[in-house]
Amino acid sequence: MIAERLRNFFGKKAVRNPEIETVFRAFSPGTGSFGAPWRDDPHAQVNHCRHWVYVAVRAIASRVAGATLRFVNEETREEIGPSHPLRRLMREVNPFETSVGLWMNTMMFLELTGNAYWYAPRNAFGQICELWLLPSPHMRVIPDEHEFIRGYLFRMGGVEEVFSKDEIIHLKYPNPVSPYYGSSPLQAAAESVDAHMAMKEAERRSFENGAFPGMAIQTDEALSPEVRKRLETMFKEGFSGPNRAGRTLILEQGLKIKPFTYSPREMDFLESSRITRDEILAVFGVPAAVAGISEDVNRASAEAMLYTFAENTILPKLRLIEAQLTQDLCTTFDDQIVAKFDSPVPNVRAEDRADMIARISNKVTTPQEERVRLGFALPKNPAGMQPVTKTV
């Protein structure tokens, strides 16, 4: 029945409602017309999932998809069993998608558009029985004067479908401009993304132009139109394009080459590209080591970056999602059930303590060396070099 409804509204002809048409235009996911022209267009946001944006989005999506989600009864403090219908729902979200796929795509839409919409049909008992991710660029909120949200409108090409507010679970990031739509990290990084893509385009064009991009041919003699045309054709056919780079250039007598474009040193594309890359990753909250960058990264700094990524980027997102799931998903099964993600932040203190005990026990280090490792000064009294055991 659910799959049939989806097939029906994907295959039917559009019937435009004038009232909804006005709502669709008035209440868009945009947060303001400034900066990059595409930053408030959900369709364009999805199309900008390239280069370092893709790297950042993939890192966040894969980490969230791998997080352990539990459902706990608040009254008894016990986790619900694997046979509970809510647990089964999160294992088998729908007949065509896995739970990991649902989470990966959900996080990609959240990071790119700030919004993710789950179509959540219910069974005869009023419980949600399946979860379907609807593409964010094609969704709109239908406001209501009395209930705040009347429902949701899906529109794609000539297809249009209205969902009640109880049929949609709307996950969204905080947005100080709109109470109806979330704001994504990509929107905040729009200008840096544009700058980075412009530099990549300039590099691409430079390779396409071949070994001598943007140059002038000088001579002390006047050239006829025929000669000018012949020289242009010669250089275009003989040296334009990456496959012709590196060819030997032989000039006719009296001709000189003078580049009039910026040199690589002047443009400093490499350094500028690193700056925009770091800006994009910083907005998404993805450290260099997580993005696969090995520059100036050692094991200690990589571990610190992973810890920071888990604590400052992933954990807040999980807390935001679990609150929404508790409100819109768990309550359809039991008012006492809440969603809880296991913390992705490693217990570094416990691990460090266990490692220290293992080193001392295996005589890899001495207690004195561990004191130095922890930043404590060695005692002046030699007797104090050994651990003190109190006896009663």
- Percent pLDDT > 90 in the chain is 40
Quick check: is 298 in a domain? no
Q: Which of 23-37, 177-191, 250-264, 332-346 has the lowest mean pLDDT?
A: 23-37
Q: Render 179-238 in DSSP notation, one character per residue.
A: SSS---HHHHTHHHHHHHHHHHHHHHHHHHHTTS-SEEEE-SS---HHHHHHHHHHHHHH
**pLDDT at site 366:** 85
Q: Render 71-110 in DSSP notation, one character per residue.
A: EEETTTTEEPPTTSHHHHHHHS-BTTB-HHHHHHHHHHHH
Quick check: is 293 in a domain? no
Q: Are residues 363 and 249 in the same domain?
A: no
Mean pLDDT of 196-212: 70
pLDDT in tens, 316-337: 999 999 999 999 999 999 899 9
Q: What is the pTM of this model?
A: 0.72
Q: Are residues 112 and 240 in the same domain?
A: no
Q: Are residues 223 and 108 in the same domain?
A: no
Q: Are residues 34 and 118 in the same domain?
A: yes
What total number of domains does the chain contain?
3
**pLDDT at site 249:** 61
How many Å apart are CA 15 and CA 293, to the nearest integer? 51
**pLDDT at site 156:** 86
Quick check: is 227 in a domain? yes
pLDDT at 392 over 50: no
Q: Are residues 155 and 28 in the same domain?
A: yes
pLDDT at 18 over 90: no
Q: Are residues 77 and 116 in the same domain?
A: yes
User: How many residues make up the chain in this entry?
Assistant: 392
Q: Pick left, alpha or beta for residue 218 (phi over 0 → left; psi -120 to 50 → alpha; otherwise beta).
A: beta
Residue 310 per-residue DSSP state: I
- The contacts of residue 281 (CB under 8 Å, 6+ apart) are 52, 55, 56, 287, 288, 291
**pLDDT at site 26:** 46
pLDDT in tens, 23-64: 544 445 654 545 578 888 889 999 999 889 999 999 999 999
Quick check: is 139 in a domain? yes
Instruction: Give the residue among 93, 106, 92 at the shortest CA–CA distance from 139.
Output: 106
- Is residue 382 within 8 A of residue 388, CB to CB? The reply is no
How many Å apart are CA 108 and CA 98, to the nearest integer? 16
Residue 240 CA from chain centroid, whole number? 37
Residue 374 per-residue DSSP state: T
How many Å apart are CA 15 and CA 5, to the nearest integer? 16
- Is residue 112 within 8 A of residue 39, CB to CB? The reply is no
Q: Are residues 380 and 255 in the same domain?
A: no
- Percent pLDDT > 70 in the chain is 72
Residue with the larger pLDDT of the pair 347 and 198: 198
Mean pLDDT of 199-216: 65
Quick check: is 328 in a domain? no
Q: Is 273 buried (19+), middle (13-18) or exposed (0-12) by CB count in 10 A?
A: middle
Instruction: Give the residue among 138, 136, 132 at the shortest CA–CA distance from 14.
Output: 138
What is the token pair recorded at 155?
């529109």
As beta bridge partners, residue 56 has: none
As beta bridge partners, residue 257 has: 217
Q: Which of 146-155, 244-253, 333-342 has the lowest mean pLDDT?
A: 244-253
**pLDDT at site 211:** 46
pLDDT level of residue 296 (50, 70, 90 thresholds)? confident
Q: Are residues 229 and 135 in the same domain?
A: no
pLDDT in tens, 66-90: 999 999 998 888 999 999 999 999 9
Residue 131 CA from chain centroid, whole number? 22
pLDDT level of residue 226 (50, 70, 90 thresholds)? confident
Q: Are residues 230 and 364 in the same domain?
A: no
Quick check: is 283 in a domain? no
Structural domain containing residue 256:
214-260
Quick check: is 376 in a domain? yes
How many Å apart are CA 8 and CA 163, to the nearest integer? 14
Q: Are residues 224 and 177 in the same domain?
A: no
pLDDT at 206 over 80: no
Amino acid, single-letter form, for residue 64: V
Q: 10 Å Cβ neighbour count for 15? A: 7
pLDDT in tens, 261-295: 555 555 566 677 788 888 999 999 999 888 888 87
**SS3 call for 343:** coil
Quick check: is 12 in a domain? yes
Residue with the larger pLDDT of the pair 236 and 128: 128
**pLDDT at site 204:** 73
**The most confident of 181-195, 205-219, 267-281, by mean pLDDT:** 181-195
pLDDT at 201 over 60: yes
Q: What is the mean pLDDT of the chain?
A: 80
What is the chain's percent helix, strand, coil content, to nearest 5?
Answer: 50, 15, 35
pLDDT in tens, 125-179: 888 999 999 999 999 999 988 889 999 999 988 788 999 999 999 999 999 999 9
**pLDDT at site 240:** 61
Q: Are residues 11 and 105 in the same domain?
A: yes
Q: Are residues 47 and 137 in the same domain?
A: yes
**SS3 call for 11:** helix
Task: Please report, for residues 94, 133, 150, 362, the alpha-carbon distance to residue 382 in angstroms, rounded to integers and kept in the order given.
Answer: 69, 68, 77, 23
- Is residue 283 within 8 A of residue 192, CB to CB? The reply is yes
Choosing from 227, 260, 293, the residue where a domain stops is 260
